[in-house]
Amino acid sequence: MDIDLPFYLFWAVVVCGLIWLTDTLFFKAARIAAHPDADPEENEPLLVEYARSFFPVLLLVLILRGFIAEPYQIPSESMVPTLEVGDFILVNKYAYGLRLPVFGTKVVSIGDPQRGEVMVFVPPHDPRYFIKRVIGIPGDQVRYANKKLTINGRPLPYEFVRGFEDRRLGIGASEFVEEIGGIKHRIHKTRAFARPQQWTVGPGEYLMMGDNRDHSADSRTWGMAREENIVGKAVAIWAHKPPGLNWPTFARNRWFATADDE
């Protein structure tokens, strides 16, 4: 997502608020004194009128998007089969604590990301929002070898679902059910070689991977996600719009699996 809507929304609120406040403190009284019998808003400059009208609306939207929930559209195949290109997801902004919009500073601590959850965050190499699955949390020892994960010495359970041909690589691929943190989800992996990797997750860090393991740029490439760059927890798909001139559909609507579902 290339447009940083929270950034522009925040500054729109600030500008409208400053215009309205400046007029109230320095100019409104003089207008009323000059026209005591007129409606106080009748001689209000157009710019002030717009600022006064838009400020509460923009502030409400900023509060809802900044502290409660925010929608995002999936732009890539990195989370297939869990998420497809064009899925609209709902992100819980307070699941991991209340943060100031734009600045990202946590003001209230509520919870921490858990293994298996789907999280939206800003990676260390790119200012855009990414969405991946939480694989490792602070203190974890994680190993990825032969396309399988081992966390703190315990291999994750995998259940084969089906085989198919990867259309991008033109080679065989498989779909498995992977269970991590009590959450079962489907992943795709191909027969392409992947070198073994091992990590120790440090304080305030999270190891992130896409469910489409061989078509995901994630912590295996650019390192850990940082706690201060967390945006929120993805909780549901609420609509889907296929690329191109297509109408949105609601056939894929669902809540994401949690550990409590098992």
What are the residue numbers of the active site?
78, 132
Which residues sit opposite 256 in a β-bridge?
none
**Taken in order 169, 149, 208, 218, is the CA torsion positive or negative?**
negative
Minimal CA–CA distance to 27: which of 42, 48, 46, 55?
48
Are 241 and 139 spatial neighbours (Cβ–Cβ below 8 Å)? no
Length of the chain: 262
Tokens 């669902």 label which residue? 254
Q: Which amino acid is at 226?
A: R
Give Cβ neighbours of residue 141 (< 8 Å, ≥ 6 apart).
151, 152, 153, 198, 199, 200, 201
Number of Cβ within 10 Å of residue 239's Cβ equals: 17
